[in-house]
């Protein structure tokens, strides 16, 4: 029963990542078609209808230059809906300049250096019995 739960958890996580990846791939593809040479995270985020809050937060945390030029990075990008459902915090509070360090720490916790695919995450989770660890920037 315990193994079945692990397999089910891995499968469920894969379905979740596949759903997210489909939007990311379509956003990246349309960004690539519009600007062949600049596929940065900032440009991909700017063209996404569901990540405008993330773009504002990247700018407020002074991560825009890093994510516009350096890389590759994998960003576990919260959608606008996720930001709207922050527990105990508001986006306006996070965007306050006095909270810049906290905001930067929060964002960099969601960024991994390198290109991590959904397949890599799933394999790591299955090897780790439902857990996977990646080093964030």
Is the model's pTM score more than 0.85? no
Q: Judge contact between 73 and 113, C-beta under 8 A.
A: yes
Q: Which tops the pLDDT comparison, 118 or 15?
A: 118
**What span, in angstroms and rounded, lies between the C-alpha atoms of 100 and 79?**
20
Residue 29 is predicted with a pLDDT of: 41
pLDDT in tens, 1-33: 444 344 344 443 443 444 444 444 444 444 444
Which 8-state DSSP code applies to residue 99? G
User: Looking at per-residue confidence, does 38 or 32 come out higher?
Assistant: 38
Q: Which two tokens stand for residue 16?
A: 């979740």
**Which of 18-27, 35-44, 70-79, 113-122 bottoms out in mean pLDDT, i.e. has the lowest?**
18-27
Domains, the chain: 2-127 (2.30.180)
For residues 1 and 81, the model is more confident at 81
The full length of the chain comes to 137
């Amino acid at each position: 029963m315990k193994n079945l739960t692990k397999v089910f958890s891995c499968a469920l996580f894969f379905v979740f990542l596949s759903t997210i990846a489909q939007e990311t791939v379509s956003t990246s593809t349309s960004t690539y078609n519009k600007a062949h040479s600049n596929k940065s995270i900032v440009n991909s985020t700017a063209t996404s209808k569901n990540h405008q809050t993330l773009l504002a937060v990247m700018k407020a945390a002074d991560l825009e230059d890093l994510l516009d030029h350096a890389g590759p990075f994998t960003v576990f990008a919260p959608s606008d809906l996720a930001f709207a459902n922050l527990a105990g915090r508001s986006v306006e509070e996070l965007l306050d300049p006095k909270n810049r360090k906290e905001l930067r720490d929060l964002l960099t916790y969601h960024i991994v250096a390198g290109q991590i695919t959904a397949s890599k995450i799933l394999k790591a989770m299955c090897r780790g019995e439902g857990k996977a660890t990646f080093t964030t920037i």
